[in-house]
Amino acid sequence: MNSAAAPAPPARASWLRLALIGAAGGLLSGAFGVGGGLLMVPLLIAFAAMDQRRASATSLAAIVPAAIAGSFTYFVNGEVDLLVALFVAAGGVVGSWLGALLLRRLSLGWLRWMFIALLLGVALRMLLIVPERGDRQLDLEFGTAIAMVALGLVIGVAAGLFGVGGGVIMVPAFIALLGMGDLAAKGTSLAVMIPTATSGTITSARGGVVDVRAGLVVGIAATLASIPGVALAFLLSPEWSSWLFAALVVVAAIQLSVRAIRLQRK
């Protein structure tokens, strides 16, 4: 008879801790037009005892309701380009499915360092290029439409693979390539995240990677916090918005790097 005790199940994070993680992510989502995964993924790893894979998938699930609430708030203020969102989302749905499949196949070590590299690239971009506040009418041509679908494909892969809504790529791309103002870029980015994050979440859920309980708690808190986050976006100047966003990204990258090095040493 084997008297060895069965391994204890992993500890589950408290409701309050998950709600605070969601609130932080939702505030970031509304203020900067990103999914909130930039903050939620490292927080879920550090304070909810999740590995990179489960944290990414659960964060992506929580992004869906927050993106709906945030994009609606931007929309009623006239800061969402629905036509751009439609074309980018078309590529994003396919890309998020591919990214979610890769999430289940890549090693955790490579996935962790790829995510850190993404964070540092975004921070550098936000520090070097400050967006302008204002809008410019986009001339929609066949080539432009194809480019937007291709952009959506790349964004979708990032969403499914890294557990972010793709805003870290979309907002800079909308500003630099399409000439959008920073507020319109953020609002349109959140609108694209709705179908993109939904597609990636469904794929991850089928693979059993999503923590449903945590996703619900984090998602509800993120949704409630996204609305004051949008209000903060309208109050911040483009300069302050870029600098604060870059600072948050660097903090998250440092935290993940320290954890990755410790795991490698073990």
What pLDDT, in 10s, does the model give residues 154-163?
Answer: 877 776 676 5
CA angle 41, 223, 127 (to 5 degrees): 55
- Token readout for 260 is 């990755």
Q: Are 179 and 41 in contact (CB under 8 A)?
A: no
Q: Where are the domains of the chain?
A: 15-265
The confidence score (pLDDT) of residue 250 equals 83
> 36, 29 in Cβ contact below 8 A?
yes
Please identify every stretch of the chain with a pLDDT value under 50, giving residue numbers as ranges.
1-10
Give the integer Cα–Cα distance in Å for 201 and 213: 14
- Count CB atoms within 10 A of the CB of residue 128: 9
CA geometry: angle at 222 spanning 95 and 171, to 5°?
Answer: 45
DSSP codes joined into one string, 83-98: HHHHHHHHHHHHHHHH
Which pLDDT does position 1 carry in this prediction? 46
Ranges of beta strands (E only) in 36-162 are none
The pLDDT tens digits of the residues spanning 62-117 come to 999 999 999 999 999 999 999 999 999 888 888 877 877 776 777 667 777 877 88
Q: CB 226: neighbour CB atoms within 10 A? A: 30
